[in-house]
Amino acid sequence: MLSSFKINKLNFKLVTKFLIIISVFLITCDFAHAEKNNIEKAEKHVSEMMVDIQFLLEVGKTNPDKGRELLNELLKKYFDSNLIAKFSSMPAWRKASNSEQNEFVSLFEKYLVNLAANRFNEFKNVEYVIAKTEQRGQKMLLVDGFIKAPGSKRDGTPVGWRLTLNKKQELKIIDIEIAKISMIVAQNDEFTAIIRQNKGKFSSLIDVLKKELNVN
């Protein structure tokens, strides 16, 4: 009776250990698989966007209005303008009212199209080579690569794309790093300086954007 109890106790311990090991193994495999999936998705996202950029640059050459329309679509498809707006205006964003935040996002999207139009020229007649993709934390991914344009000054310029998984588990770009200069950090410094110069009023940033975009 006693020996059978000992065996049962031993078995129970063994089974528990075995189950724990299996669980840890499965969870690790699941994370690794999810990470691999995300990395593949991120690289595909950036590669497809590069193809779309080349297409819109071609269209934009002959038809600027159509090019701008395509640029709007491209931003919606590949970028998370809400999150970019939020990060660009932190920490003032937290103190802004909902209506101010909404108005700012709407203006910022237009401003972003203007900015992107200038930045995308960096990718005119060039090839983008992905060198490395890394998952950073649970939600963020960094696609790192460089511009391939033999004979051009831009050849070899490192360009990184920071992507994040949104609530719908879709990947969206939230930052571009050109030659290790993060556009969102530069944007945040600029917006913060504007707000600070106007006594910390978030509305002042909205006014500056309206003036820039000629919106009433």
Partner 1 sequence: MHFNFFKNICLTILVSIFLSSCSANNSSNLSSIWDPIEPVNRAVFSFNMVVDTYTLEPLAKAYDFIMPDVASRAISNHFDWIKSPISALNSSVQGKHVEAFDSLVSFSINILTLGFYDLSGNNGLNNKEDFDQTLAVYNVSSGPYIVIPFLGPTTFRGISSNIIDGIIDPLNLLGTEKVIRLNSAELPIKALNTRAEYMDQINDLKYNSLDAYSVFRSVYFQRLLAEINDTENGNDNITNVNSGAIDAFFIQNQ
Two tokens at 145? 């690569």
What strand order describes the sheet that includes 171-178? 127-136, 140-148, 158-165, 171-178, 181-182
For residue 16, state whether it binds partner 1 (rule: CB under 8 A). no
Interface pick for partner 1 out of 180, 199, 214, 216 (rule CB under 8 A)? 180
Q: DSSP letter at 122? A: G
In which residue are the tokens 């996002």 written?
A: 105
Contacts to partner 1 from residues 104-123, by CB under 8 A: 114-115, 118-119, 121-122
Looking at residues 119 to 178 of the shown chain, list those that interact with partner 1 (rule: CB under 8 A).
119, 121-122, 131-132, 134, 136-137, 140, 142, 144, 146, 151, 153, 156, 158, 160, 162, 174-175, 177
Q: How far apart are CA 117 and CA 98, in angstroms?
A: 29
Evaluate whether 166 touches 182 at the Cβ level (below 8 Å). no
Least CB distance to partner 1 at residue 207 (A) = 11
Q: Which is nearer to partner 1, 13 or 132 (CB)?
A: 132
CA distance 123 to 119: 8
By the rule CB under 8 A, 179 interacts with partner 1: yes
The distance of closest approach from Cβ of residue 102 to partner 1 in the complex, given in angstroms and rounded to an integer, is 19
By CB under 8 A, name the one of 19, 20, 27, 90 that touches partner 1: 90
Cβ atoms 183, 119 nearer than 8 A? yes
Helix (H) / strand (E) containing 133:
strand 127-136
Quick one: tokens of 107? 């203006």
Q: Which of 10/200 has CB closer to partner 1?
A: 200
List interacting residues with partner 1 (CB under 8 A).
Answer: 86-87, 90-91, 114-115, 118-119, 121-122, 131-132, 134, 136-137, 140, 142, 144, 146, 151, 153, 156, 158, 160, 162, 174-175, 177, 179-182, 184-186, 188-194, 197, 208-209, 212
